[in-house]
Amino acid sequence: MKKILGNIRRADADFSMIEEGDKIAVGVSGGKDSMTLLYALHLYQKFAPVKFDLIGITLKLGFEGMDFHPVVNFCSQHGIQYEMVDTKVFEILQAKADSSGRLPCSLCSKFKKALLIKRAVELGCNKVSMAHHADDATETLVMNAIHNGYLSTFKAKMYMDESDVTFIRPLIYCYESDIKKAARKYVPIVPSTCPMDKNTGREDVKTMLADLYKRYPTAKANLLNAMKNVERVSLLEKDSDN
């Protein structure tokens, strides 16, 4: 957890993520990433340079067999404000499934983000945090290049004027391998019962990158550095005089 906290502190300093008096809502799916983020931010409250409030929010998407009691008990034990929100996301996704029964993951992601922001605003939060990490950022970059034809990943901090909320990703410098280690030691995990879990295009890219890192071990850190090194971006550009 010490390494996770160090990387959160560095991300906070680099992107000015957390400010005095913030009330931050953390999206808590019950998985290793979100549970680690929730607990790490709870610990960060104790030594952060500013004072901020924290609340964990779980969207109950409607997948069968998901028991969030371990999360409820964990938050109660550590004095973390927490609540669950009932939704009909799974019901809607089923209606939008393709002919083979595959659910639209991109639509699910949009629903989750919108519902989390809505509840956060209702609770008086000015910032919303999700547990996207360094590996997620690299995977998003590669997926956009392969499937969409442009180079782009998500931002570490983004203000959304339509909701007057700032979206932050404090785990942006944390790798999944370190999060797994911390989660196993410190937090309970609620296994996902989503039928698309581990069965997405992102998993294919994850496997491809894992093979790349085996061959070129420095590529993992360099890809993260490349996304930060925006002043040295050089791409094909049309001659403005033509």
Contacts of 45-48 with C-beta under 8 Å, sequence gap 24+, read: 48/9, 48/12, 48/18
Of 240 and 237, more confident: 237
Amino acid at 15: F
How confident is the model at residue 153, as a pLDDT? 96
Residues 6+ apart with CB under 8 A from 26: 34, 37, 38, 41, 54, 55, 56, 57, 128, 129, 130, 131
Q: Are 26 and 129 in contact (CB under 8 A)?
A: yes
Give 240: exposed, middle or buried? Use CB within 10 Å, 0-12, 13-18, 19+: exposed
Residues 6+ apart with CB under 8 A from 140: 152, 153, 154
Average pLDDT of the chain is: 93
- pLDDT tens digits, 5-27: 999 999 999 999 999 999 999 99
- pLDDT tens digits, 136-190: 999 999 999 999 999 999 999 999 998 999 999 999 999 999 999 999 999 999 9
Q: Are 58 and 85 in contact (CB under 8 A)?
A: yes
Does residue 212 surpass a pLDDT of 70?
yes
